[in-house]
Structures are given as C-alpha cells and as structure tokens.
A = this chain, B = another copy of it.
Amino acid sequence: MRKRKGAGRPTISDVAAKAGVSTITVSRALRDPSKVSDHLRRKINNAVRKLNYVPHSHASALASTRSNIIGVIVPSLTNNVFADTLRAIYDELYQGAFQVQLGNSRYVAADEERLVRTFLSQGPSAMIVAGTDQTDATRELLLNAQCPVVQIMEVGDDPIDMMVGFSHFEGGKAAGMHLLKKGYKRIGFLGARMDPRSHRRLEGFVEAMRLGGRYEPDLVMTTTASSSVSLGSELIGQLRKRDPDLDAIFCNNDDLALGALFGCQKAGISVPDELGIVGFNDLEMMAASHPSLTSIRTDRYAIGKRAVEMIKAELEGNPPEEKVVDLGFELQERESTLRTR
C-alpha cells in the first residue's frame, strides 16, 4: 500500500468528521469564529478539545502563503538593551497565535540582509528589525514585503513602514548638555562597539560640546571592540593618561560607565568631584552603584511593546495614524554628576 503516514496527529479532517461538518468550516471556526454559527462552532470546539487538535502550522502557511511567524532581528543577544525589548515583544505576543522567529545579526549588515531574506521566504506576518541602517538591498526586500515592518530602537524620517524608538543624537546631546550645566570643563567621550546608533550619540554629544564651546576632539575615545565593564575601566585610565585634566565623561553605554567608575575607584579618583560620569540607557544597576550613576533612561520595554501593538493594529486593519513613534528618553541625574564642591 502506498500510503504516506503523516505526523500521526489529528488533522482538521478528523475534527471535521467528529463534528459532522466540512473541513473548511472547521478552518473558519478556528480562524474567524464569527463566520460560523454558534451551533456548529460549539460542536467544532468540542471536537477540537476531545481530539486535542493542534493545527499544523506548516500546512496552513503553505496553503495561505502566510505564516504566523513574526520575524525579529537584533544585532546582539547579550546586550541588555535588546533583551529588555525582546522580553516586551515576547510578553506582548504571549497570548496570541504568533510565533517569534528571532535572528541575531551580530552587528553585521550583510548578516542582517541574509536573515531578512530567510525570514521573508517564510511569509511572516510581520517583521521587526533593529535600527535604521539597513543595506539598500535589505531595505528593498522589506519595502516589498507583504507584511507590516517595524524598525525599532531609533527614529528617523524615512521609515520602511513603521518606527518606534528615540533619537540617539538627542540623547547624546542631552548627556553632554547635562555635564556642561554641572560646570564640568574638560569633558570626554568613551565609546565601544560604535555601531550607527553609538555614532549618533557621539554626534549629539559633540553638538552639545560645540554649543558650550568645550569641544575637544582629543577627548573622544572610541573603539570597535565590544563593550564591557572591564573595557570601561581600561579606557578611562587611557583617557586620563592622555589628558590628566579630564573632569567628566559621557559613556556610550552603562557598562562602560560602570567600568569607568570602577577604574576611578581603583585609581583613587573621586566621582563626581574629580570626574563626572554619565552613562546611556539607565540599566537597573545604575541606581544601585556607589556612587549611583547618572544615565539617559530609555524605555526599551515600551519600545518592544509598542512595536507589537502597532503590528497587531495593522494586521487587524486599523493602521496606526502615526507611523513613527518617538518614545523619547529621560535624564536620570544621580550622584555621579552631583558635585559637592
């Protein structure tokens, strides 16, 4: 006999037979219950429960050319910033029938392009990608994708489709302005990784320094090495060697800021009196350290949540009015910039 065996699980036909209806009616009852009478719907739900029926998502995707996958591509899995956003996405998608497909582009644009290609080949229900710096090809792919696309973490003026984030330029500028306001004179910048968003934070910082007449290119220290607490500790040492009069720094991110604090403690430099420190993102630890660390608070969780809300709205036929949502940031002023003298 030439039968193929299948997966051995109940299929939609089994449910249909049990409920005494056709398969399409079961299909409708499951996807859009309003299209089926109460009477049949009840019978079908009973059959589903009794058989413990779980739809075969691949068959559904093949027949409808649309999968229940929401593709998410982030540049890092270990960066807490994305972890918070991811958590929000997962939390928000927890109830529904969507599956998250997570890709890690490792901060490489070509890898992102490859992932987008792979994900789109599965006919996702939506795509979420980090940042606004896609390659032309990636952009093109996403523009032609037959699904909502949200760029997260950052805002800009030419969204592929939708955007949720904040301005890293303004964030960097706010950090710089704060240090100026506190009366610091020789203000440095510590940057690791230096992805496009880091660059824009630096640009904002430079803008602030220029406005305050304090821009000093030599005080900008960046590396492509990936960020870490140890690195912050090391870099602050190097920068102080380069310029002993340095009296404040803005760090690319909170890991570096914490590392800079440790570096100062090791070298016997008092924070904030001898050196002011500002971080970026305001991770939880910033409030707990001693002294506590000033940072630019960004709401990563809200970004993920909002992105999913926009996608859901779009899929339900209520496209959001605002395609670009700027969730802003907030300066969290703490002891590390609270001079006592």
Contact = CB atoms under 8 A, between A and B. Distances in A.
Nearest to A7: B65
A172 interface: no
A299 to B, nearest CB: 14
A287 interface: yes
B230 A288 contact: yes
Contact of A262 (B87, B121, B288): B288
Contact of A62 (B56, B230, B288): B56
A123 interface: yes
Nearest to A67: B58
A280 to B, nearest CB: 17
A7 B144 CA distance: 12
Interface of A: 5-7, 9, 54-59, 61-62, 65, 67, 77-78, 80, 83-84, 86-87, 90, 99-102, 104, 117-118, 121-123, 228-230, 232-233, 255, 258-259, 262, 265-266, 284-285, 287-290
Given A78-B84, A80-B80, A262-B289, 19 more contacts: A5-B65, A6-B65, A7-B65, A9-B121, A54-B118, A56-B62, A57-B122, A58-B58, A58-B62, A58-B122, A78-B80, A99-B118, A229-B284, A229-B288, A230-B284, A230-B285, A230-B288, A232-B288, A266-B290
